[in-house]
Structure 1
């Protein structure tokens, strides 16, 4: 008999992640080839600071298996349409390509956020989820780097 629990348990979560990674690695030739340093997921952050050192914008993401995954990109309202977002994105892509050997980038964005911004910078929509959340469409975009 099994007991179902719903509490947050970080130790079990880490155990589950290790076991899933091990199972996936056993079943995928690509993932088997990535064993070692290349398998590690590494954070990649790029920040724009104003003259006072306050955060004016930033991009957070991670690299793994030759991919840059962009999690967050934000620019202060006063600095939008100044090219700062483009500079943050370009810097993250360059670091991922030149220093971490990434050939691709990916991200998710909602229809009211920035799909046009990313498409104008070479990203292609490869997936969409309508009504996630209700009334909104989420897009997945990718780009070949370099």
Structure 2
């Protein structure tokens, strides 16, 4: 007999993630070879554009590298600095670090139709998946790019 619980539990979440990774790694030689030790997984990669004079944040990229991939989680540029190549520069710097220093061969990210799918295509990303109506009335895009 089991009881089902619905509260948020970070310790159980972490335990579940660990057990799922162990199961997946045991089942897949590819994952065994790629994942390495826990310290080599999900390595954060952040790139910041900071105003030299005011120290204000003009833009930034937050992501991580895992299994020879760069995962771009967030890319944002302050409205005052858009259109001058800052976003492309942040993305190029993250790709360069991922490729040259971490051995990544590809990059992936998600964006919505009202955000920046065309921007990413101009940076060499290709649409790999389109999820219409996620959330309702919005289309989500998964884009990928081969690095190096």
TM-score per shorter chain, which class? over 0.9
CA shift in 2, pair 1:103/1:110, >3 Å: same
Q: Which residue of 2 aligns with 1:24?
A: 24
Extract unaligned runs of 5+ from structure 2. none
Q: Which residue of 2 aligns with 1:113?
A: 115
Q: Which residue of 2 aligns with 1:41?
A: 42
Structure-2-length-normalised TM-score: 0.95
Extract unaligned runs of 5+ from structure 1. none
**Count of matched residue pairs:** 146
Corresponding residue to 2:65 among 60, 63, 66: 63
Provide the rounded CA distance (Å) in 2 between the counterparts of 1:48 and 1:33: 35
Alignment RMSD: 1.1
Q: Which residue of 1 aligns with 2:87?
A: 85
Note if contact 2:59-2:78 (Cα within 8 Å) is conserved in structure 1. Answer: yes
Note if contact 1:109-1:138 (Cα within 8 Å) is conserved in structure 2. Answer: yes
Provide the rounded CA distance (Å) in 1 between the counterparts of 2:50 and 2:65: 23
CA shift in 2, pair 1:35/1:141, >3 Å: closer
**Divergent runs of 4+, >4 A:** none
Provide the rounded CA distance (Å) in 2 between the counterparts of 1:31 and 1:87: 32
Provide the rounded CA distance (Å) in 2 between the counterparts of 1:124 and 1:59: 19
- Map residues 112-131 of structure 1 onto 2, 5 A cutoff: 112-131=114-133
Structure-1-length-normalised TM-score: 0.97
Provide the rounded CA distance (Å) in 1 between the counterparts of 2:34 and 2:108: 19
